[in-house]
Structure 1
Amino acid sequence: MFSNKEKFKEFFLQRLEMTCGKSFGESTKRDHYFTIGNMIREYVSTGWINTNERYRMAKEKQVYYLSIEFLLGRLLHHNLLNLGLEDVVREGLKDLGIDLNELEEIEADAGLGNGGLGRLAACFMDSLASLNFPGHGCGIRYKHGLFEQKIVDGYQVELPEQWLRHGHVWEVRRADLAIEVPFWGSVENREENGQLVFRHVGTETITAVPYDMPIVGFKTETVNTLRLWNAEASPYPIHKDILKYKRDTESVSEFLYPDDTHDEGKILRLKQQYFLVSASVRSIIRSYKKQYDTLQHFHEHVCIHINDTHPVLAIPELMRVLIDEEGMGWDEAWHITVNTISYTNHTTLSEALEKWPVRIFQPLLPRIYMIIHEINERYCQQLWDLYPGEWDHIESMAIIAHNEVRMAHLALVGSFSVNGVAALHTEILKKREMKSFYQIFPEKFNNKTNGITHRRWLLKANPLLSKLISEGIGDEWIQRPEKLLELNKFTEDTSYLEQLYQIKQQNKERLAKRILEQNGIVVDASSIFDIHVKRLHAYKRQLLNILHVMYLYNQLKEDSSFHMHPRTFIFGAKASPGYYYAKKIIKLINTVAEKVNKDDRTNEKLKVIFLENYRVSLAEEIFPGADISEQISTASKEASGTGNMKFMMNGALTVGTLDGANVEMMERVGEDNLFIFGLTADQVLNYNQHGGYNSRDYYHHDKRIRQAMDQLINGFFPDSDAEFEPIFDSLLSENDQYFVLRDFDSYVNIQKEAGATYENRKQWQKMSLKNIAASGYFSSDRTIREYAEDIWRIKAE
């Protein structure tokens, strides 16, 4: 059907009439989108079936990647690119008067993630398939995802994300493979044939129905599977209030990250996590048993990878299945489990290392709690043998302590591999956050620096730049991104650098058009596009950025000799619904924007834009149009970052701290080709350990800081009243936890240096090209090869 555009057009028109029951003349763009989507899914179905059959016959080891998030973005254009069908489809549709770009706009972003964690999982799925590795994803099919963000009077307002309103063309419902997941109830035990047997009784069950999506590799025959579980009412519920049961059941796959500031939210989040792992583990075992008679060698054929702490219950769930359903003894089940599970840690923030109150955990998951309790008892006995009498030390390392279940500790004990996601992050884990565990299990710890799929973030998102790259070095870089290093031969080529500049300007014009459409604000594409887009969190320091903007505004108003190249500061971020402080920062950014953008004395030099509802499809327009990439987290707090890599790959220059993967980016591109400022990780850790930082000193001794901070509370912003007092207090009364004021002067100076450098066009383009050339290392292809070889031990088919 795709052999040439004439065949395609013929088949497209036939399918349109068959699918929609209307003639082409009566059809809508949505009809066109669903028709082409169905055609592509059917086109890959043969490869999908063949891939699964190939894996079954080869009996090679497979990996299952469990993640609470998969931030996929749109798939129409992406799948066409990977299948090598874009040109045929684009030309065929054009003949019919249909614009492929307009069809892509109809597709909703799959609302299955929040930020870097979910986007990393999506990039990994792409690389696994593109490199022909047997690897699949398991997640939850959230009806409303995180939320759709609206900005109303400067405030974030959350609305249900309606990405499934019109159905999802890429998924296949597999009701025949549904699994019943139990909650609540009690555990009975009895002796059978000399062995203690446990039964979970009186449960409330939820039906997990899988929806499978094909993950298409780039110009390969491999089509892997992303299985997303939908929570549905059990066909035979034992429940007095059926309507309440149905509501409670469906809520499990309704929203990503429900607010857990209260017990009801905690229960729902814990339900989600067990729902994901129970359905996934049992589905994996069911598939395995179709090939093998016994599970004794399960760990030799299957690796289950848990992406952060959310899926850690895979450990006790695998134990439960092996003991309760397969009749294994504890030691055999534990050997298989520990050698099956691998774990990626994504944070150094203690609050992000999940802990669940026993009073909630035990009633909801009674059998799982029993197993974790037994794991903890045996583990603490080992600790006692190592540290006899050191109760405090043992307590600090226990899985259950202070009436809490510590999920990160369970992950460390119950897995064979623990990896960080950047060299600095892994060293911090080993030397500080998980030092005690590293001393016992040094062989488990390793580093796998994150990566991004260059096929989406460069080839798809930036076709103009991709074309220029291929004209310069050929197109082998698409499958071997390390080849981008060959671009360094053009760093003194004035013509090539000028073409690079013109492409950036075209991408900035496209982004400026989006800003006009979305915000109604005209921005100058010749200004520096200084962009800060990522999840809103205090440690990511969007606050430092906006305080710097306030400083610039004050300088422009008060000092007629002050020079700066015109700058457009662009923000995009969602704050978690229950994160009060982060929402205040969003309000501050929008309040500053309102004042700055309306001031005729300064707005030719300075504009501030907040792009609402930051998501993958919007990011694909933002990254190619960026001049400056803001990566300014407090050193030691960002595990890796992946936005930094996407900006780098698209030729933006980093203004950043030596945090996360920024360190390795600097090592690859050279410190002269980015703008580094601020405290180092060691300095931050030293302050945290020994004290010595007083934010009031910076407030009193730096008039720039004092002026900007006072403007938060002195009526400088009309109608703000006490709106920003919590921000003011966090910086002074709470001693500025993330060292915003400590790094302010350094940040101002490096931003001044970046602005001055930008005015030397050739120098800037030379630095930009060096960043693009060095970015190939940060492809997720490299990362996945390292996982495959060092952790999962899987082979390309």
Structure 2
Amino acid sequence: MTILQPLAQQHFNRSLDELSNQEVYQLLVQLIQERAKDLPLFEGKKKVYYVSAEFLIGKLLSNNLLNLGIFDEVKAELEDADFTLEEIEAEENEPSLGNGGLGRLAACFIDSIASLGLPGDGVGLNYHFGLFQQYFKHNSQFYKPDEWLPGTNFLTKSSLQFEVPFTDFTLTSTLYDIEVLGYQQSGRNRLRLFDLDSVDPEIIEPGTISFDKEKIAENLTLFLYPDDSDAEGEKLRVFQQYFMVSNAAQLLIQEAIERGSNVHDLADYAVVQINDTHPTLIIPELVRLLTTEHEISFDEAVEITQNVVAFTNHTILAEALETWPMSYIEAVTSDVAAIIRQLDERFKAEHPQPASIQIIDDNDTVHMASLAINYGFSTNGVSQLHTDILKESTLKDFYELYPDQFHGLTNGITFRRWLMMANPGLSTLLDETIGKDWRKDSDLSALEQFKDDDAFLAKLADVKQVNKEALNQFLQANQDVTINTNSIVDVQVKRIHEYKRQQMLALYIIYKYFAIKGGQKPETPITIIFGGKAAPAYTIAQDIIHLILNLSELIANDPEVSPYLQVVFVENYNVTAGTYLFTAADISEQISLASKEASGTGNMKFMVNGAVTLMTWDGANIEIAEHAGLDNVYSFGREAQEIVKLYDTDGYNAAEYYEHDTIKPLVDFIVSDEMLAIGDEEKLRRLYNDIINKDYFMALIDLEAFIDVKEKMYADYTNQKAWRQKALMNIANAGFFSSDRVIKEYNEQIWHLD
């Protein structure tokens, strides 16, 4: 039975094989939308609203076909008509609704909520251009708007609108929905994205991502995380956050009433999970709505709100624990500012000390995490180590006040996107070897019995080789870059940030460059791949990109080194690029400074696809090591407790490490004649000076240990049977890191949905 052929005749009056790729894509989107609408919304008395500034959902075509259970059927019909699903999916624009791990986690979570049949929607903003489209010129990062909305997509404009009252004006929102389909489920949820009809891309200066930040009606949903290097940019972020949460709060109250709530019992009908501190203003906004729109007393409104809102903390970094001057909040929404002051006074009356838990400090600055913890009912970390650090250090005073409120819920990923869709070769091999139950329960442990099966290990290696060839084709098509598919593929992809220590891997590259120039040629060629964006205002992160790109050029043009070492920086890294990189990688670089990475989810995507983790004792790396086995990961570096103590005592001195015989020549090479000949001297010297005088995230403290473990890893790779066994053990023990498991835990411990 054909699915597409009748639709082709109906909509285009032509047979399927006569359509263009774009027409076939439009046909598939329409098919998916029609089938989705036939599915009922998941229902229950209580519903979760997952409110997040980001939802990095990636392309949806194949994922929706898979969840609807028609993927294989459609794929075969397309091939009969001389199409491939891959070339049709190339017609879909990558949704620019997120940037990094926070947004990718949110996407996995809403997928799992639907796949478990739970009633719950994601709520966020419909960014017109996301963060930005990254491109490289003169070995530096440049920006242009990432235009994704024009053309056919999975957004559906609804008739729902809300009035959002700011201090000086009121704006009317428009709601757009994206259907969220559960895997082989008979129902659906939605991603609810709010926008403004008045937003005007024409205010963006040509060729830039700059615009008038004071024209709120025209700019509010243009960009994710607009540049906040000035006061206008900071205020715009507050405008965005309030617009998001006001809509979310109005939506959940309206829907709760429709399901039978009298608003006094709102907590029986709705739970809000706020993804990091960006949506924290939903707390005073709920109080505002309950008191002004529903005539509930202030004290009862506060109690209701406290029983509705739960907070996920994603960081111990001070820069990410948001604080805003009260003057900004008053400029954006004076009514909410007044409520925050009332909440602060109420809290201080009961808890005058310590200052660390206060909502408004002596500088009249609002601490969003304090607001979320003091006026929510749950706070959770996202890995065991992260939760322990929150309890013992970062949020210690809160934990002592609310010990029963804290939960530890290690993050996870959806295997549907990151294994079934990203790695069909491995998925088929798993089906043939251990059956298909893993597709529903994520249990891959039966694979362990094949650890000593040479025939299976060879098949596993064949899958990896096919994925390396696919990565090579992707890089050729997108960047005109060719990699050696017989090399070790060593990958670090994530937001560019000093704590993630891309600069440490760059220093290792210099070490390896010297070694090869000195005649120490590796037995197997090495390809080191980076991917990720640096925030426009984050100068040192951009300097790190510049260093890496210069090293890439230097090595590529050196005939003595280039046959053995290649450095590639993937331009405009996104979900699509990730599917190629996670599946092709031999080595997963998880080298953040211990205590600074709350969890990570890229580490899990690499693991389930058979990469071997190179790790510090940080975030979920620790649990990956526990599940995969210490013999199947490579670890190095100081542990979290020592790093925390060094920060507490100001005990780290970069200059002392810089003087080490191994380290000094590597750092000095940043400003060598070879590098200055191809790079920008200001950028290179700035980075060089920062590393030797500051190095706030301690790249130098672990550098020598990092060099040693990388050399061991590359040497061990030559024993291919042992390496494949490590890869197998990682895959077999990845089941714990399914987002389905995490969402079950959220529901059991926090949400309590029917």
TM range (shorter): over 0.9
1:30 paired with 2:22, answer yes
Q: Is the 8 A contact 1:9 1:93 kept in 2?
A: no
State the Cα distance separating 1:577 from its structure 2 match: 1.3
- Cα distance between partner residues in 2 of 1:498 and 1:118: 36
Deviations 1:637-663 (A, max 9, x none): 000000000000000000110000001
Aligned-pair distance for 1:690? 1.9
Counterpart in the other structure of 1:231: 196
How far 1:707 moved relative to its partner? 1.2
Instruction: Label 1:25 to 1:692 Cα distance change in 2 as closer, same or farther (>3 A).
Output: closer
CA shift at 1:397, angstroms? 3.0
User: SS of the residue aligned with 1:722?
Assistant: helix
**How far 1:247 sits from its partner (Å)?**
4.8
Matched, 1:340 2:312: no
2:396 match: 435
Match of 2:366 among 405, 421, 445: 405
Q: Distance in 2 between matches of 1:233 and 1:510?
A: 42
Report if the CA contact (8 A) 2:357-2:370 is conserved. no
Q: How many Å separate the matches in 2 of 1:561 and 1:444?
A: 55
In the alignment, what sits opposite 1:42? 34
Residue 546 of structure 1 aligns to a residue whose secondary structure is helix
623, 630, 633: which one aligns with 2:589: 630
Query: Residue 249 of structure 2 is aligned with which of 276, 281, 286?
Result: 281
- Counterpart of 1:171? 155
SS state of the match for residue 319, structure 2?
helix
| 8 A contact 1:82–1:219 mirrored in 2 | yes
Secondary structure of 1:257 counterpart: coil
2:516 to 543, 550, 556: 556
Q: In structure 2, what is the Cα distance between the partners aligned to 1:497 and 1:781?
A: 28
How far apart are residue 738 of structure 1 and its match?
1.2
SS in 2 for 1:318: helix
Q: Which residue of 2 aligns with 1:765?
A: 724
Task: Please tell me whether the aligned partners of residues 589 and 615 of structure 2 are also in contact (alpha carbons under 8 angstroms).
Answer: yes
Q: Which runs of 5+ in 1 are unaligned?
A: 186-203, 235-242, 388-392
Structure 2 portions without partners, runs of 5+ = 200-210
- Given residue 722 of structure 1, which amino acid in structure 2 is its aligned partner? E
Q: Tell me the equivalent position of 2:164.
A: 181
In the TM superposition, what is the alpha-carbon distance from 1:214 to its structure 2 partner? 0.7
| Alignment root-mean-square deviation, CA | 1.7
How far has the Cα of 1:71 moved from its partner? 0.3
The letter of the residue matching 1:577 is P
Aligned pairs for 1:385-534 within 5 A: 387=353, 393-394=354-355, 397-481=358-442, 483-534=443-494
Given that 1:397 and 1:437 are in contact with CA atoms closer than 8 Å, whether structure 2 keeps it comes out as no
Q: Which has the larger radius of gyration?
A: 1
Q: Give, in angstroms, the shift of residue 522 of structure 1.
A: 2.7
**Residue identity matched to 1:172:** T
Q: Does 1:374 pair with 2:334? A: no
2:673 is the counterpart of 1:715: yes
Q: Which residue identity lines up with residue 166 of structure 1 in the other structure? A: G
Q: Find the aligned partners of 1:523 and 1:233 in 2 and give their Cα distance.
A: 46
Q: Distance in 1 between matches of 2:88 and 2:523?
A: 41
The 8 Å contact of residues 488 and 769 in structure 1, kept in 2 or not, is answered as yes
Residue 731 of structure 1 is matched in structure 2 by 691
Deviations 1:696-723 (A, max 9, x none): 2222222x32112111123221143333
Distance 1:110 1:406 in 2: 31
The amino acid across from 1:33 in the alignment is Y
Return 78-87 or 780-789, whichever deviates more: 78-87
- Per-residue CA deviation, residues 27-71 of structure 1 (Å, 9 max, x unaligned), is 432122112111111111010xx225xx2xxx5211010000000
After TM superposition, give the deviation of residue 233 of structure 1 in Å: 3.6
Asked whether the 8 Å contact 1:257–1:269 carries over to 2, the reply is yes
CA spacing shift, 1:396–1:304, aligned 2, 3 Å: closer
Once the 2 structures are TM-superposed, how far is the Cα of residue 23 of structure 1 from its aligned partner? 8.2
Aligned partners of 1:565, 1:695: CA distance in 2, in Å?
34
SS class of match (1:72)? coil
**Who is 1:192 aligned against?**
none
Structure 2 counterparts to residues 681-760 of structure 1, below 5 A: 681-702=640-661, 704-717=662-675, 718-720=677-679, 721-734=681-694, 736-760=695-719
SS in 2 for 1:51: coil
Amino-acid identity (%): 40
Q: Is the 8 A contact 1:207 1:233 kept in 2?
A: no
AA paired with 1:181?
Answer: V
Equivalenced residue count is 741
Give me the TM-score of the superposition, normalised by structure 2.
Answer: 0.96
Query: Are the aligned partners of 2:16 and 2:81 in contact in 1 as well (CA < 8 Å)?
Result: no
- The answer to whether the Cα contact below 8 Å between 1:215 and 1:223 also exists between their aligned partners in 2 is yes
- Match for residue 238 of structure 1? none
CA distance in 2, matches of 1:687, 1:536: 23
What is the CA distance between 1:426 and its match in structure 2?
0.4
Aligned partners of 1:246, 1:579: CA distance in 2, in Å? 22
Is 1:60 the counterpart of 2:71? The answer is: no
2:723, 2:261 → 1: CA distance?
62
Name the CA distance, whole Å, in 2 between partners of 1:333 and 1:156.
48
1:188 corresponds in structure 2 to none
Distance 1:740 1:395 in 2: 29
Match for residue 318 of structure 1?
Answer: 286
Per the alignment, residue 551 of structure 2 pairs with 592
Q: What SS does structure 2 have at the residue aligned with 1:157?
A: strand
* Whole-Å separation in 2 of the counterparts to 1:156 and 1:768: 34
Rounded to whole Å, the distance in 2 between the matches of 1:325 and 1:362 is 20
Tell whether the 8 Å contact from 2:167 to 2:335 is kept in structure 1 after alignment. no
| Whole-angstrom distance in 1 between the partners of 2:395 and 2:188 | 38
Stretch of structure 1 that moved more, 88-97 or 423-432: 88-97
**1:573-592 alignment, distance < 5 Å:** 573-592=532-551
Asked if 1 retains the 8 angstrom alpha-carbon contact of 2:522 and 2:564, the reply is no
CA distance in 1, matches of 2:628, 2:11: 50
CA shift at 1:288, angstroms? Answer: 1.5
C-alpha change, 1:714 and 1:598, in structure 2 (3 Å) is: closer
1:76 counterpart = 2:96 = no
Look up the SS of the partner of 1:137 in the other structure: strand
